[in-house]
Amino acid sequence: MKTYKYILFFLAATLLFSCKTAKLSTAEEKQQIGEYYEAAAIYRKVYAKTSPKDKFLRGYVAFRMAECNRMFNNVSRSYSSYANALRYQYPDSTVHFWLGQMSQKRGAYPEAIKHYQSFLELSPGNVLALNGIKGSEEAPKWRQNPIRYEVKRMDKFNTRYSEFTPMLYGEKYDQLYFASSRKKSNKGKAKKENLESPESAISGETIASSRSSGSSGSSGTSGSPEGIKRIEIKPSNITGLYNNDIYLVKQDENGNWLAPQEIEDEVNTSFDEGTPSFTADGNTMYYTYCAEDPEGPRPSEIYFSTRSSAKWGKGSRTTIVKDSITSLGHPAVSPDGNYLYFVSDVVGGYGGKDIFRSRRIGNDFGPMENLGPQINTPGDEMFPYVRDSVTLYFASNGHPGMGGLDIFKATLDSLGNWTVENMQAPINSFADDFGITFAGSKEKGFFSSNRNDLRGSDHLFSFELPTFTVFIEGIVSDVDDEVVEDATIRIVGRDGLNEKVLVKKDGTYRVELQRDVSYVMMASARGYLNQNFELQTNPEEKNETYLVDFFLSPIYRPVVVENIFYDFDKATLRPESKEALDELIKMLNDNPNVTVEMGAHTDRKGTAAYNEALAQRRAQSVVDYLITGGIDRDRLEAKGYGKNVPKTIDKKIAAQYDFLNEDDVLTEDFVQAFTPEQQDIADQINRRTEFKVLRTNYNLY
């Protein structure tokens, strides 16, 4: 049987070789040299053009695309690509393992356990799969019973790009250094010709200054003064982001954090810098440096800079290793200055990336010392932070965790054994959480995470262990994700609270509540329908912040009801429409004086008469469901528009598809000018169910 499987795999591989296209070869080359972002984009195009009948090729491309997306942390696309590889029976057992990890990083813990179990059937005893199952079993409990740390996203520090690995600095911990890939000008990016080559290149898998594998960035040259080459700053072909630089943010005399500023000292270059760490006297900074070389891969390295006259000097390479092929990164100086902890994937470790340390001897270092199997696993252990002589914090995806990288606390006993504890929620999430820093002995500080970011970008979060408080906070926006500036929120509680809260200009609100109390909230704004929410706060004595976002529907224009589905060419509502329809019932109950028209629209295919009749039946199916759900018949009208009212593209849809612009009208003639793939998208947009407010005074008189 085993020989038969090998023959099948050989035949499939032969078939794949014969089916390769130039674009597929290009994607493979990009992937091989570490340009994962570019490779994933090409694989995606190849996959779309590959016939579903060519199962092996589809499975092969899906798997390679998944691997690339995983390398630059696009969880959703990686998950769907691995799922497609499994669907087309791609013969690689790791598909099950990676689907387990991607499911765990999406918070889909039961699904993650199933995939890990499938992998264990093929690879019994695999430590990472066993720990994945354990973490997936524990994570829901940690989410349900979070520890007392209060976590806040530091939006004042964050951008739409990545911010990560914060490090507090100064006697009062009133300065914060961090790395960011935010877009920059060419200011301060001149490179001496005798320094690292400024030409574009991509490294292979390294310990980057960010948590992704591979250094990031691509570059070119333009005219500049003699002896200087100016770098044209472009996004990386690895991650689609810009190279990282080190930034600094300070507190004012009142303890308020100011705006971050890129440090203009010689530490920052056109290449990658990040993960700073400082000696206790504040005069030496260690950091990760990732250069680029057009001739081939370059490992990440640990550099140091000394402070003089309030400026950081040009970085120099440490002497931890003598060779030029060992990747080192994520330095962390012990408080006594005796050791430098760091990360490497050097051969002979426990698998993946391990945490090491070396004794500091002036500017020199002793031999690398692996921290051992109590800390390191077959997975990745990264971003160490040494709080004191017996306490180490680090990030890992090898120990049992909630998903992705989790932050762990390790305590050293008198016998030299480490006890490792997961920091649990809310410090950790099912996303990546890493790079923690404390304000000395105080139980507060900062860390980085990509939670709640659809692009997977990292951002800075604060944490603190304060007195017990309960808050509810969120944002009020419309159905197109535009902030509703003049909204109000009325909160009524069984504790006697009856408060009207004005939403801030950025659409946010925050209200302190009490433990173990039932509350009813209503968000409202002129020109919008109301939205209600009920909340029962937790009786336990712990800090909690409930996140509740309101999405208000406008009165003055039709609103598309997402996720309503019908059987093909019929008016029968499919079961997966129930959630959206029940939300519609709730909205109508929240606004009892409103009457609405339910309008159904079709695409351009078929005759106008046929589409109108089909749309009318579909609209009536929705109305019938709403009536069954308790909505008065007098408040509802069904209208079948067919293809007579094509969709006008709004800002939200235009942002999703680069071939559509705001205010485009998807008429039949307009759509026919698109490619077949674009036509399918346009037809799908036109096929919609909408509600339109007719009256707002039902039963008022």
Treating both helix axes as pointing N-terminal to C-terminal, what angle do 75-87 and 94-105 enclose, rounded to 10 degrees? 150
Distance (Å, rounded) from C-alpha 508 to C-alpha 694?
30
In tens, the pLDDT along 62-82 reads 999 999 999 988 999 999 999
In tens, the pLDDT along 276-329 reads 999 999 999 999 999 876 555 578 999 999 998 889 999 999 999 988 889 999
In tens, the pLDDT along 269-280 reads 988 999 999 999
Q: What is the mean pLDDT of residues 202-225?
A: 37
pLDDT band at 207 (very low <50, low <70, confident <90, very high): low
Distance (Å, rounded) from C-alpha 671 to C-alpha 578?
31
Q: What is the mean pLDDT of residues 160-177?
A: 95
The pLDDT of residue 296 is 53
Residues pairing with 333 in the sheet: 340
Which phi-psi region, left, alpha or beta, contains residue 221 (left: φ > 0; alpha: ψ -120 to 50)?
A: beta
The pLDDT of residue 322 is 87
The pLDDT of residue 201 is 29
Check: CB of residue 404 under 8 Å from CB of residue 398.
no
Walk me through the domains of the chain, giving residue ranges and CATH numbers: 2-144 (1.25.40.10), 151-464 (2.115.10), 470-552 (2.60.40.1120), 559-695 (3.30.1330.60)
- Exposure class string for 534-550: b at 16+ Cβ within 10 A, else e: eeebeeeebbbbbeebb
Burial of 307 (0-12, 13-18, 19+ CB in 10 A): middle
The residue among 208, 275, 267 whose CA lies nearest residue 236 is 208
The pLDDT of residue 33 is 84
Q: What is the mean pLDDT of the chain?
A: 87
The pLDDT of residue 19 is 47
In tens, the pLDDT along 229-286 reads 444 556 666 666 788 999 999 999 999 999 999 998 889 998 899 999 999 999 999 9
Within its chain, how far is the Cα of 313 from the centroid? 34
In tens, the pLDDT along 400-416 reads 999 999 999 999 999 99
Weakest mean pLDDT among 43-52, 129-138, 200-209, 578-587: 200-209
Check: CB of residue 320 under 8 Å from CB of residue 340.
yes
Distance (Å, rounded) from C-alpha 690 to C-alpha 405?
41
The pLDDT of residue 543 is 84
The pLDDT of residue 357 is 97
In tens, the pLDDT along 472-511 reads 999 999 988 889 888 999 999 998 899 999 999 999 999 9
In tens, the pLDDT along 358-401 reads 999 888 899 999 999 999 999 999 999 999 999 999 999 999 99
Q: What is the mean pLDDT of residues 3-9?
A: 36
The pLDDT of residue 16 is 47
Weakest mean pLDDT among 141-155, 200-214, 560-574: 200-214
Torsion of CA 35, 41, 45, 50, to 10 degrees: 60
Check: CB of residue 610 under 8 Å from CB of residue 617.
no
